[in-house]
Each structure stands twice: as structure tokens, then as C-alpha cells.
Structure 1
Amino acid sequence: MSSQGKNFVIFGATGKQGSAAVQWLTKSGTDNIIYAITRDPSSAKAQSLATLPHVQVIQGDSSDPEKAFAQVNGTVDGVFFAPVGFDAKDQIKEGKQMIDLAGKSGVGYLVFSSTDFSGHREDVTGIEAIEAKKVIEDYLISSFVKYTILRPVGFLENLFFPGYADAIPHFWPRQLIKSGIASSDIGRAVSEVLLNPAYFEGKIIGLSGYEGSPQDWMHVWEKVTGEDLRKREKKMNSEMSEEKMKMLKFIMFNENDARVERTRAFFPWVMDLQTFLEDAKARKPM
């Protein structure tokens, strides 16, 4: 049974994961109130969320969760947060204070969106943003807060970023199986966890909707779009920072831990690549 009449706080509510979580929670058909936390409530994305049923848009971010919690009318039953960016110190600081405050304030449940470690959970990757997620995970697991940790692989939406799809035929290792997940599916998973905490409590779940070799990715892309990615120019973005380049290489050259079969054991509706591309094409012709 889904929970009734609860208060959910979604940090980063105008980001890909957060906005999807808010939208899926509003479809639950209950009396739940969703507090959408965003730095700029006046933005177009925030104003769009404000039109949804049971949503209250609040100014704030994960650097000051106490301010956000103070605006909740009643208890905070569930919280979602997903540290972003490349500043590891800020991520760790915000993650720890979120967990500490949740324990002190009696927050019912925390959903933490971490990352897929691609076989390096116990190794040092040298990438600060990835290492920060490990610290936060360990801190949460050792706390007294009830939690679920989600470990999504790379967003399928990244295919539309300049240079990302171009890299598939030219830079992805030919035999490496790479995975992807639609950000909307991450939000849907967050929604299901918050609505059914007893079932998901203490679980660490990798999120993947599609997996395949570079040839598989290119085949599906051409099937849906009609474009042969091998004809794209071989290039890399030379303007990337050193840390971003390290992250990109880590993503390209390491096989993900998450597997579609295991993800679908919890969330059978996750989109594969073809479904994702067809949906994107229907909304905005490529």
C-alpha cells in the first residue's frame, strides 16, 4: 500500500532527477504534499512545478536543509537528495549535514541518489566527485536514519549533449558493455521508494534501463533516427576541465555495475534505449 497524507521534501527539484521525482509523486493520487526545493522559485521550471497538484515550491538548497524542513507543515516523512557538481568537499559537507539533521529532526526516510561505481566501489578512482559519493554512502549506512541508496548509471539524456553521441563509434571500447538510464525513470524510482519505504528500506539499488556494446547503441540510434553515428566527426571537447575529462574517461572506459535485469526486478518499467529515443523523437523531432 502507498503512504497517505505524507510530506516529501525534494531537493534539487528543478534538476533532472528532482523534477522527475516531483512529477511522479504528484501522480500517486494521494493527499501527500511535495515540497519542491529550488534555488530560484521564479524560474520557468519552478513555476511549472508549482502548477502541479499538491506541490509547494520553496526557495533553498541542500546546503541549508534545516531552512527547508522548517517550512514543512508537520513531520518530514521522506527526503530525496542528489549531490551534483565536482566540488567533493561541498558534497560531503552537505551530505553529512543532511543525514545529521534527518536523524536529529526525526525525518522518516532518506533517498540518496549516488552513482554507479563501475567496479571501483572499494578502489580509489582519483575522481573527487565519485569518492565523495562513497563517503556519503558510508555515513548514511552507519547512521540511524532509514534509507535507500540508488546508484544510477549515466543519463540517456546525455546522448543529446554536444560530443556525447559522437564519442560512441570513435572512443568507446568496442567490447565494453555500457549502460544508460532515463532521468525520468530515476525520478519514478525515487517516487516508488518514498511511497513504499518499508519494502525498500536499507536497499542499495543500481539503476540501468539499457545496456549494450557501442555497436548495439549505434544500431538502435540509427533504427530510430536514421543516422549512422560512424559518419560523425571524430572529436573531443578540448575545453573540458581536467576533472571533467577524468570523469568522462572513467565513464567511457569502465563497465557499469548496474544491470538491467537486476534493476527490473525492482522497477520493471524502466525504458530501454529504443523506447527512450522514440519518446524523445515524438516530443521533439530529431
Structure 2
Amino acid sequence: MSTSQNFIIFGATGKQGGAAVRWLSRSDANIIIHAVTRDPSSPKAQSISSLPKVKLIQGDASAAEGVFSQIEGKIAGIFFVNVGYDATAQIQEGKAIIDLAKRYEVNHFVFSSTDYNGHRNKETGIASIEAKKNIEDHLIASGMRHTVIRPVGFLENLFLPGYTDAIPHFWPAQLLKSGIAADDIGRAISEILLNPNEFEGKVIGLSGYEGVPQDWIDTWQDATGENLREREKKMSGGMDEERMKLLKFIMFNQNDARVAETKAIFPWVKDLRTFLQETK
């Protein structure tokens, strides 16, 4: 009888972690998906607990030792992504999980970082982005088998207050901006975890769609029948200074990830039109 491979997914009820759990659960491989969540009784946690191969673990990145100690046998792979805007906590948690993974002799560590918009080797002045660099560097220095993914913004953000309204009114007219469906990020994570030899040591940008603002506007109208230029502006409010800096950085800098490069690895990534048609 073959032994199951253990995978740990931190943030299992988040966009990326949840999508990774769903895609892993469809695999024919003999695996156990240890889905880490703060509240196993939540509707999102209960939804993924009903999937094949999934075992819920109560915990989070701030208390990762308790998560690792519950796994029986070797750990084949881990997925980790930071959440929130507390850069100090992000660095502490990220480094702690990497160190624990090394101590527990985890075979493969997958870290979801960020698209640096041309600033991987330049100071951004944004603490949450600089934290990602710090964690990436710590992972590389650990010597563990690893893969870093750098997704662009979620296409799901289009449905947040003010996001879509920014496209015709605030995005620079000639700036190429990119997006990717969270579900596609999860599918990529699943493939990477299940094929560590293929992806070991790689840094992979993830983008499913790219275009200047007019491209986004035209595609939106074709898919939904709505003209974004005719919408009433409803910008989101209540952001603190750090989040405003991050928003402006993302809005006014071109992404590093290119669709053609992503499709060369993951040819199934969805473009904006497909995403909108499937999201109706």
C-alpha cells in the first residue's frame, strides 16, 4: 500500500489557498491536503472540508509550529502566501514558516509573492512589497527546494467598489496592465506542488490578460454590454496612507509578468473575456 503525500495549504479559505485546495482535491494522486484555517466552522472552511482528500487544521501562520506538529509522516509540499498589510508580521511569519519547513525537512516550498512592477531590485517605499522581497530572499537562502510565483492583480478585484471605475478615469492611457483569475493561480499552485522536479528553483510570473485601458473597456463592453465610461464613478474610500501608496504604485506601473510567458507554462490561463463570461 502506497503512502499518501502530505501537503499543507496555509490560508486555505483565501482566494489563492482555497483555489489551490480545490484543484489539488481533483488530482488522481494519493495525497492528503492539510487545509489550514483559523475557523474550521466557517462556511468557507466547511465548503472545502467536503472535498476529497481534504483535512482541516485549525491554525494560521502566526502559530505554524502547531500546524506542522499535527502532520503524520513526511511533508511533500507547502503553499504559503502573506495576507494583510502588516509588513513586520509578514516578515516574521514568512521567515518562521520557512525555518520550520526546513527543520521538518519539507520537500518543496511554494511561496506566492507579488508582481514587482519593475521594482524587484529597486526600493518601492511600500512596506508590504518590501516584505515580500525579504521573504523571497530568506527562502532562497534556506537552500530548500522551492518555487516562487509572482501573480499580478486578481481579475476578481474588478467587482470591488471603485476598481472597475478606475480603469477609464485613472489608469494611464498607454500603460499595459495585467490581471489573472484567482482560480488560475490555484491551478498553477496545484501543478507546481504535484510536480516539484519540473518547477524547482523557478520564479514564475502569472498573468492571464493584459491590455491598455481601452482594451479592458472594449472587452468589458463586449462581454457584459456595459460601457465603463458611462458608469457613475464610485471610488472606494477609507484607505489609510499605506494602502493608498500601494494602490497608486500598482495603478501607475507596468506589470512584469507577461501573458505569453505564463501561457508557455500554463496554457489554460483565462483571459478577461473568458473570465467575465464564466463569472456571469
Question: Could you say whether these structures have the same fold, taking a TM-score greater than 0.5 normalized by the shorter chain as the test?
Answer: yes
1:4·1:30 contact (CA, 8 Å) conserved in 2?
no
> What does residue 74 of structure 1 align with?
73
**Aligned twin of 2:115:** 116
The one-letter code matched in structure 2 to 1:34 is I
- The verdict on how the C-alpha distance between 1:243 and 1:78 changes in structure 2, with shifts beyond 3 A counting, is same
Cα pair 1:150 1:206 within 8 Å, conserved: yes
Alignment partner of 2:61: what SS?
A: coil
Structure 2 Cα separation of the partners of residues 212 and 74 of structure 1: 46
The structural deviation recorded for 1:238 is 3.3
In the superposition, the TM-score normalised over structure 1's length comes to 0.96
SS of equivalent to 1:179: strand
Contact 1:8 1:32 in 2 (8 A): yes
Q: How many residues were matched structurally?
A: 279
Displaced runs of 4 or more, over 2 A? 233-238
Quote the residue 1:284 is aligned against. none
Name the CA distance, whole Å, in 2 between partners of 1:73 and 1:33.
Answer: 10
CA distance, structure 2, for counterparts of residue 36 and residue 64 of structure 1: 14
Deviation for aligned residue 1:54: 0.7
Please say which of residues 60-69 and 219-228 is displaced more in the overlay.
Answer: 60-69
Q: Shift of the alpha carbon at 1:4?
A: 7.7
Structure 2, unaligned runs of 5 or more = none
Unaligned 5+ runs, structure 1? 282-286
The 2-side partners of 1:124 and 1:243 are apart by 15
Structural mapping, 1:116-155, within 5 Å: 116-155=115-154
Q: Would the aligned equivalents of 2:161 and 2:234 in 1 still touch at CA under 8 Å?
A: no
Q: Deviations over 1:205-240 (max 9, x none)?
A: 000000000000011111111000001223533311
* 2-structure distance, mates of 1:66, 1:29: 29
For 1:156-195, list aligned pairs within 5 A.
Answer: 156-195=155-194
RMSD value, Cα: 1.1
Q: For residue 62 of structure 1, report the CA deviation from its aligned partner.
A: 1.0
- Percent identity reads 64
The one-letter code matched in structure 1 to 2:55 is Q
Q: Does the 8 Å CA contact 1:81/1:111 hold for their aligned counterparts?
A: yes
Could you report, residue by residue, the CA deviation over 1:129-150 in whole angstroms, capped at 9, with x for unpaired residues? 0000000001111112110000
Aligned to 2:41: 42
- Against the structure 1 CA distance between its residues 71 and 166, is the aligned structure 2 distance closer, same or farther, given a 3 Å change threshold? same
Contact 2:9–2:35 (8 Å) recurs in 1: yes
Q: Does 1:17 align with 2:16?
A: yes
The answer to whether 1:52 aligns with 2:34 is no
Instruction: State the match for 2:226 in structure 1.
Output: 227
Aligned to 2:267: 268
Q: Is the 8 A contact 1:22 1:34 kept in 2?
A: yes
Partner SS for 2:33? strand
Question: Are the equivalent residues in 1 in contact too, given 2:38–2:59 (CA < 8 A)?
Answer: yes
Give distance in 2, aligned partners of 1:200 and 1:122: 23
Scaled by the length of structure 2, what TM-score is found?
A: 0.98
